[in-house]
Amino acid sequence: MPLFVLPFPAIDPVLFEIGPFALRWYALAYIVGIILAWRYMRRLVLDDKLWGGSSRPSALDLDDFVVWGTLGIILGGRIGYVLVYNPGQYLANPLEVLEVWTGGMSFHGGFLGTVVAMFLFAHRRGLSILRLFDLAGTAAPIGLFFGRIANFINSELWGRPADVPWAVVFPNGGPDPRHPSQLYEAALEGIVLFIVLRVLSHRFQMLQRPGFIAGAFSCGYGIARCVAEFYRLPDAQIGYLTGVLTMGMLLSVPMIVAGIALMVWAARRPATESAA
């Protein structure tokens, strides 16, 4: 037991209740993250100097896409968690699949759900799928930041036992102080990744190379997640796959490989070449 530990802040997961309606911090985090990401993408498409005269989705396209993207995030995230992380629990209690407000969302499932939504939307509107990928990649860390903060408030996905001064005793994590791994992920997947992508888009004008920002996001998230997994306790029903390898690491490796490949491919193309 370390000399100094941090008590878990007494934050009610329910922000407020009005009759049968309850607004939870978890739901609010998704709402705020999606709205801010949408507003950020709108600002990017309206900034001509970032695109070098190349085509991109319009602000009106993004206004319509936010509904498609939201459905992809929620449906993909929930289905991914149910199928990959806890199929036995939901097979025994199928109605719990609908209780998304209690937590239990997979980033990798949400990522795939959003990719499907982007393909369908781009095809329907005749837009460049790579441009849409790039825009989504620049804004995704905003949603990730708020989502990880919600994980912390929900006291879920906590870390491994730790003896660091900032270790936290979670109310449902036993008596051991633990790494606040949700906050590590909020910092790495949210703040650090957002800054890296912002530098790429604004300092190095990488939005002019279709697919590069999307690849950078995929690779950056995969690396950040793998680092965080060394401090995060694996889901009890899965545990370690082998040694220190976790499901989160395994699912992140293809994202890193695909991200690097996409960045290399995009960097070799002319800067303002249109992409289908």
Kindly report, residue by residue over 105-130, the tens digit of the pLDDT. 788 888 899 999 999 999 999 999 99
pLDDT of residue 65: 96
Q: Find residue 36's DSSP bridge partners.
A: none
CB atoms within 10 A of CB 166: 13
Q: Is the pLDDT of residue 275 over 50?
A: no
Q: The pTM is what? A: 0.88
CA-based torsion, 105, 147, 35, 252: positive or negative: negative
- Residue 24 main-chain phi, psi, to 5 deg: -100, 150
Most confident of 6-10, 32-36, 50-54: 32-36
DSSP letter, residue 165: T
pLDDT of residue 20: 67
Q: What is the mean pLDDT of residues 184-192?
A: 98
pLDDT of residue 276: 42
Q: Which residue has the higher pLDDT, 34 or 237?
A: 34
3-class SS of residue 23: strand
Q: Which residue has the higher pLDDT, 118 or 52?
A: 118
pLDDT of residue 203: 96
Of 9-13, 34-38, 68-72, 75-79, the poorest mean pLDDT is in 9-13
pLDDT of residue 141: 97
Q: Cα dist. 89→98, 181, 268 in Å? A: 13, 24, 47
pLDDT of residue 274: 45
Where is the binding site, in residues? 148
- Residue 37 main-chain phi, psi, to 5 deg: -65, -45
Q: Is the pLDDT of residue 152 over 70?
A: yes
Q: Is the pLDDT of residue 133 over 50?
A: yes
For a pLDDT cut of 90, what percent of the chain falls above it? 62
Q: Which residue has the higher pLDDT, 175 or 181?
A: 181
pLDDT of residue 30: 86
Kindly calculate the radius of gyration of the chain based on its CA atoms and give it in whole angstroms: 19
118 and 136 Cβ atoms separated by less than 8 Å: yes
Q: Is the pLDDT of residue 102 over 70?
A: no
d(CA 20, CA 89): 26
CB atoms within 10 A of CB 201: 23
pLDDT of residue 110: 87
143 and 73 Cβ atoms separated by less than 8 Å: yes
